Amino acid sequence: MIRIGQGFDVHQLAEGRKLIIGGVELPFEKGLLGHSDADVLLHAITDAILGAAGLGDIGHLFPDTDPEFKDADSIKLLQVANQKVLATGFTIGNIDCTILAEQPKMKPYLEQMKENIARACQIEADQINLKATTMEKMGFIGQEEGMGAIAVALLDK
């Protein structure tokens, strides 16, 4: 059985926060605001794999009302979600993602992000494709008020 899931996440940029994307801390004057570390890429991937397995979404598994997940490391959340997916008998075939951000440039960090995601999902880095794009200065992402990510995951049983 083959199933596909999609994930989408956005977070507002804020002063005094670290910018963590794909488990990599990027040098930038602002970070993403959220209950956890607000890693939009890992949140989108988590939603994609959970959705494909029929296991709900990141908010269901890790509610932002639960103090246990305050400032949580999203790599750890992805690892837990992946274990739940594996327990259903599914394995990840591939993951494809797009990061939506005006700046900073993501290209120098994409390989490390892929390695982090591969390790968390217990797959090979070549099963992951990462891209980044701007919003051409349009909307809240284009105006540098926030960042987003889109992900799809293919699961096989």
* 24 belongs to an annotated ligand binding site: no
* 88 belongs to an annotated ligand binding site: no
* 124 belongs to an annotated ligand binding site: no
Q: Which two tokens stand for residue 58?
A: 């990141």
* 96 belongs to an annotated ligand binding site: no
The HSE-up count of residue 116 (CA atoms within 13 Å, CB side) is 22
* 89 belongs to an annotated ligand binding site: no
* 47 belongs to an annotated ligand binding site: no
* 58 belongs to an annotated ligand binding site: yes
* 10 belongs to an annotated ligand binding site: yes
* 133 belongs to an annotated ligand binding site: yes
* 134 belongs to an annotated ligand binding site: yes
DSSP 66-124: -GGGTT--HHHHHHHHHHHHHHTT-EEEEEEEEEE-SSS--GGGHHHHHHHHHHHHTS-
* 69 belongs to an annotated ligand binding site: no
On whether the CB atoms of residues 37 and 29 are closer than 8 A, the answer is no
* 11 belongs to an annotated ligand binding site: yes
Rg (CA), the chain: 15
* 136 belongs to an annotated ligand binding site: yes
Strands 91-100, 2-14: parallel, antiparallel or unpaired by DSSP? Answer: unpaired
On whether the CB atoms of residues 93 and 155 are closer than 8 A, the answer is yes
* 57 belongs to an annotated ligand binding site: yes
* 73 belongs to an annotated ligand binding site: no
Residues in binding site for a divalent metal cation: 9, 11, 43
Residues in binding site: 9-11, 35-36, 43, 57-59, 62-66, 133-136, 140
